[in-house]
Amino acid sequence: MKTSYHHGDLYNALIRSGAHLIATTGQSSLTLRKVAALSGVSHASVYSHFSSKEDLLQAIAAFSFSRLEELVQEAGELYPDDPVQCLFEIAWSYVSYAYEQPDLFHCIFSGAPEREKSSPEYVERSRQVFAFIRDRVQESMDRDLCLFSDARLGASSLFSTVHGFATLNIEQMIPGSIYEDSSHREVLFTILSSHFTVDVKPYI
């Protein structure tokens, strides 16, 4: 199905078409010609906005990151008075996105150091997500609810743990036997609980 767009909005239409292609057929199948066809424009039209496939991938990564950011914010707002439960829900929303959109998840983080050098929007998205998590860690520290002594390092530790958990699962590198008696959410919450001084139930 071709993507329709309003005059002057071809840039965003191309990004949405690219994201759709990655989500449905994988990043390796993405080409500027396919994006143009899906958007209903000529191949040459794509070059008025993107000089290369990598340029388009950077824009798709920022676009996909914006959706991940929205999910993190929404999860965080579920428990505004409970920073620990908030962090756990943020972690689960992050993992859920990885499960539901593994190819876009990979697109967001593959080549991240290079994208940070050339994509201000990507940098801003990542900073906003990290700052939101860091602030929740600080709130947990202020109330003696966690074992971290530095909010920035604590947020980095949580991010590394959750990102690693998500990546190992979508790459099918965790033995299925782990999930015989526990759900993915329960296993994640158990892993995270080692950083906190209060119990957080995976299901409320």
Tell me the pLDDT tens digit for each residue of 141-158: 999 999 999 999 999 999
Q: Tell me the pLDDT of the chain averaged across its residues.
A: 90
Instruction: With cut-offs at 50, 70 and 90, classify the pLDDT of residue 109.
Output: confident
Task: Provide the pLDDT for residue 112.
Answer: 63
Residue 16 belongs to a domain with what CATH number?
A: 1.10.10.60
Does 6 have pLDDT greater than 50? no
What tokens were used for 15?
A: 């990004």
Residue 136 belongs to a domain with what CATH number?
A: 1.10.357.10
Residues 94 and 174 reside in one and the same domain: yes
Task: State the DSSP H helix or E strand holding residue 162, giving kind and residue range, or none if neither.
Answer: helix 151-170
Residues 183 and 84 reside in one and the same domain: yes
Max Cα separation, the chain?
59
CA dist 135 and 137 (Å) reads 5
Task: Provide the pLDDT for residue 124.
Answer: 84
CA dist 196 and 27 (Å) reads 37
Task: Provide the pLDDT for residue 118.
Answer: 72
Higher-pLDDT residue of 191, 126: 191
pLDDT in tens, 56-105: 998 998 899 889 999 999 998 999 999 999 999 999 999 999 999 999 99
What residues make up the domain containing 98? 60-193
203 lies in some domain: no
Cβ atoms of 32 and 46 closer than 8 Å: yes
Residues 118 and 36 reside in one and the same domain: no
With a CB cutoff of 8 Å and minimum separation 6, the contacts of 157 are 148, 195
pLDDT in tens, 47-64: 999 999 988 998 998 899
12 lies in some domain: yes
Q: What is the DSSP letter of 5?
A: -
